[in-house]
Amino acid sequence: MGYKKVEQYDEESTSLLTENYKRTLALLGENPQREGLLKTPERMAKAIQYLTQGYSMNAEHILNSAKFHEPISEMIIVKDIEIYSMCEHHMLPFFGKAHVAYIPNGWITGLSKIARVVDVYARRLQVQERLTTQILDAIKTALQPLGVAVVIEASHLCMMMRGVQKQNSVTTTSAFFGEFEKNETRSEFIRLIGSTLH
């Protein structure tokens, strides 16, 4: 049997985006009919839909889909979650890691759900500052925890490939709620995400 790749995309959006990308290539001075570019507009149309699929996802539904009652109130950290997002100003990627913690108040969620929430908001046109607070707000709303902390470290191609062209720059953003607004708790979180325990 031959190989068949199965993908699902909105047909109307794919068609309209494909036509737009054909025009874009032509405006850049390229020939969209050139052999190497024949399928490029459709690939771009599908890629951008994949990279922005977060618009069709709901972070609270994800967290609530694996919500369990547990009488614990110790810090839970999921660190080094890879993020890939698109800067909304230049539509160039930024990428890095997110570190997320919360202190339960009677409810926990599946660990993979924390990583999925990061993707819900990363897979949109974004700014890192908003991405950080959106992750915090989703966990805060769904789980009603005693505290939430989010730190994101990312490199932005809009700074690396164009503009100031600073290839080694890293942007760090943070957001804290509840118990993490206390110096002692926040310091413990910062220490743990910076250490190598595994």
- What's the pLDDT at 3? 47
Which pLDDT band holds residue 123 (cuts at 50, 70, 90)?
A: very high
Place of tokens 């959106």: 134
From the candidates 33, 61, 82, 89, give the one annotated as an active-site residue. Answer: 89
Asked if 91 contacts 125 with a C-beta cutoff of 8 angstroms, the reply is yes
From the candidates 49, 99, 134, 156, give the one annotated as an active-site residue. Answer: 156
Which pLDDT band holds residue 9 (cuts at 50, 70, 90)?
A: confident
| Residue 19 scores a pLDDT above 70 | yes
The closest alpha carbon to 180, from 69, 77, 60, 71, belongs to: 77
From the candidates 30, 42, 153, 158, give the one annotated as an active-site residue. Answer: 158
CATH code at 59-194: 3.30.1130.10
Q: What is the pLDDT of residues 136-156, one digit of tens each?
A: 999 999 999 999 999 999 999
β-pair type (76-87, 125-126): parallel
From the candidates 87, 99, 134, 179, give the one annotated as an active-site residue. Answer: 87
Is 158 one of the catalytic residues? yes
Percent of the chain with pLDDT over 90: 87
What are the beta bridge partners of residue 93? 86
Is 49 one of the catalytic residues? no
**The domain over range 11-51 is classified in CATH as 3.30.980.10:** no
Locate 130 and state its tokens. Answer: 């908003």
- Cα separation, 194 vs 79, in Å, equals 9
Locate 34 and state its tokens. Answer: 């050139």
Residue 2 φ/ψ, nearest 5 degrees? -80, 160
Is 89 one of the catalytic residues? yes
Question: DSSP secondary structure string, the chain?
Answer: ----------HHHHHHHHHHHHHHHHHTT--TTSGGGTTHHHHHHHHHHHHTGGGG--HHHHHHTTEEE----S-EEEEEEEEEEEETTT--EEEEEEEEEEE-SSEEE-HHHHHHHHHHHHSSEE-HHHHHHHHHHHHHHHH--SEEEEEEEEEEHHHHTSTT--TT--EEEEEEEEGGGSHHHHHHHHHHHHS---
- What's the pLDDT at 4? 57
| Residue 7 scores a pLDDT above 70 | no
Is 129 one of the catalytic residues? no
- What's the pLDDT at 195? 83
List the single range of 4-13, 32-41, 153-162 with lowest mean pLDDT. Answer: 4-13
Which pLDDT band holds residue 165 (cuts at 50, 70, 90)?
A: confident
pTM score, whole prediction: 0.92
Is 198 one of the catalytic residues? no
Locate 47 and state its tokens. Answer: 């890629």
Locate 33 and state its tokens. Answer: 């009919």
Mean pLDDT for 13-35 is: 97
Q: Where are the domains of the chain?
A: 11-51, 59-194
Locate 126 and state its tokens. Answer: 């974004």
- What's the pLDDT at 177? 98
